[in-house]
Structures are given as C-alpha cells and as structure tokens.
Amino acid sequence: MDRRSFIQTAGNVAALSVLHGTASAQRSGAPGKILAIAAHPGDGMFTMGATLAQQIERGGSGVLLSLSLGEKGAPKDIPVQQYGDMQRAATQKAAHLLGAEAIFLSYPDAELPFNEESSLRVCDVIREQKPEIVVTHWSGSWHKDHQNCQLIVRDAIFYAGLQTLQRSRPAHAVSKLFYADNWEDASNFIPDTYLNIDAVCEKWLQACDFYPMWRGQTGFFRYNDYYSSLAVMRGCLAGFKRAVALMSDPSQRTDRLQSL
C-alpha cells in the first residue's frame, strides 16, 4: 500500500482531481458550479481560488463572492476607501484570469453582520447562481468576520433550499459544503478531501499576485510563502505534486450506498 492509499484508507480521506456535489454527478463525470464565499477578497482568492480554477479547468464553473472588500487591512499610507477599490480591482483581474466571476456585497470590513438581512442576501446570491458546491470559511477562526461569514453561509444555504421561503427566485438546494484551509481558521480544521491543483497552480499563483497583500505590501504575514508552500505540503499528503485540502461539513460525511 502506498502512502496515498494509506491516508485514503486510514483517514477516510478522498484524493480527487475534481469536486462533485453528488454521487450521481460523480458518475456522470460532469463538474458543476462552485460558489466560493469569503469574508474578504484575499481569503477568497488565496484559500478558495485554486479550487475554483481546478473546477473551471475540468469543465465546470466558478464564482467568487466577497462579503466585504477587506478595506480596513489598508497599510498606513493608503486611505481605506482607496484600498477597498484596489482590492476590488485585484479580485476582478484575478477572477478573470481564472475564468471565474467575481461578486461583491460590500459589507463594512471588520463589521460583517450575521443577521437575517445578510443571510437572506447570500441566500439570494445562491438562488441566482445555483451552485452544486459551496466553499467558505471554517468556524475555527480567530477573526470575527470569518466566523460570521461561516454562520451566514450556513443559514443562507438553508434558506436557499427552503421551498416555502418566498424570495425573488425559486429555491435551490446546494449539494455539498466544504470549508477552506486558511491560516486564520486553523482551530480544529480537519481536512478530508484533497484536490489535485497541479494543472492550475501556476495560474492561481499568478492570480494571487494581483493583491498587494500577497506581495507583502500590507503587513507582516508572508501569504505568498505560506499558501504556495501549503499547496506543496498538502500535495505530499495526497500523493499529488500540489493540492488544496478541504474539510466537508461534519453533517455531510455520510455515504449512502447500495453496496460497497
């Protein structure tokens, strides 16, 4: 048994080349749409961008929704609003490079509200975009916006699928929810799905490079070194050259089979 078979067998871990929302989608082989939902644009591109790129590369589609512009992460010499505009422009360029769509809800950074209004706005995006798969923040985060984003997304998925909840668009059921591997959301993050991103890794790194934060121009954290190394490290565990690790929502870890 090689290492990849070992981690798949021992850890109930899937090593995949493309994500599928349902077992029937997996059988048909057609990759669907992924909606990545991040509190801040950098989180979206650095922790979910490679997953979107891989889905698009395999014939699916990807949308990145940023709930804020991350404008309060501005360095001292750039006004907050200007930095927000720079973050929006970087995200549009990065998404374009990957063939993804970028959407912004522009809640105030550091003050992302978890309430009915925000959950219903994200519900409306889900009903409009109709993704099979949603990727967002894991709850084990020190950052309040990340925690609230996770709570908003869970409620939004519930509302989106609720037939009896009247909105401007009909209900849409998301098949699968994954959490992304983020240095700020690392408490109790236990990945169970490894996605081979080698074919899109260089393009994704190029997309990340549109952000001043990635290039170390806004703070101390070495985003470039961390996420490019993480892709190699996760690849080592999965038997791929480079990979992203995802965590399934604990409520969705049940396989329903007729036979093994």
Q: Which residues pair with 8 in a beta bridge?
A: none
Count other C-beta atoms under 10 Å from residue 183's C-beta: 15
CA 4, 6, 7, 13 torsion: positive or negative? Answer: positive
H or E segment at 61? strand 61-68
Count other C-beta atoms under 10 Å from residue 37's C-beta: 30
Tell me the window of 34-42, 105-113, 121-129, 249-257 that interacts with Zn ion (CB under 5 A). 34-42
Tell me the window of 43-51, 103-111, 122-130, 226-234 that interacts with Zn ion (CB under 5 A). 43-51
Measured from the CB atom, the residue of 38 and 134 that comes closer to Zn ion is: 38
Minimum separation from the CB atom of position 33 to Zn ion (A): 24
Strand order across the 176-180 sheet: 14-16, 193-196, 243-248, 176-180, 133-136, 33-38, 61-68, 101-107
Measured from the CB atom, the residue of 20 and 40 that comes closer to Zn ion is: 40
Measured from the CB atom, the residue of 40 and 234 that comes closer to Zn ion is: 40
Minimum separation from the CB atom of position 43 to Zn ion (A): 4
Which residue of 43, 57, 71, 181 would you call a contact of Zn ion, by CB under 5 A?
43
Tell me the window of 36-44, 56-64, 82-90, 154-162 that interacts with Zn ion (CB under 5 A). 36-44
Measured from the CB atom, the residue of 7 and 110 that comes closer to Zn ion is: 110
Minimum separation from the CB atom of position 259 to Zn ion (A): 44
The stretches of 59-135 forming alpha helices (DSSP H) are 80-98, 116-129
Contacts of 163 (CB under 8 A, 6+ apart): 171
Q: Is 137 in the site for Zn ion (CB under 5 A)?
A: no
**How distant is the alpha carbon of residue 97 from its chain centre?**
17
Residue 138 burial by Cβ neighbours in a 10 Å radius (0-12, 13-18, 19+): buried
Q: Is 40 in the site for Zn ion (CB under 5 A)?
A: yes
Place of tokens 């993050």: 189
Asked if 39 contacts 96 with a C-beta cutoff of 8 angstroms, the reply is: no
Measured from the CB atom, the residue of 141 and 196 that comes closer to Zn ion is: 141
Q: Which of 164, 191, 140, 143 is nearest to 39 (CA)?
A: 143
Minimum separation from the CB atom of position 250 to Zn ion (A): 23
Minimum separation from the CB atom of position 175 to Zn ion (A): 26
Q: Which of 30, 93, 90 is nearest to 61 (CA)?
A: 30
Minimum separation from the CB atom of position 90 to Zn ion (A): 14
Minimum separation from the CB atom of position 225 to Zn ion (A): 18
Minimum separation from the CB atom of position 86 to Zn ion (A): 16
Q: Is 185 in the site for Zn ion (CB under 5 A)?
A: no
Q: Which residues pair with 134 in a beta bridge?
A: 35, 177
Residue count at the site for Zn ion (CB under 5 A)? 3
Measured from the CB atom, the residue of 21 and 42 that comes closer to Zn ion is: 42
Q: Give residues in contact with Zn ion (CB under 5 A).
A: 39-40, 43
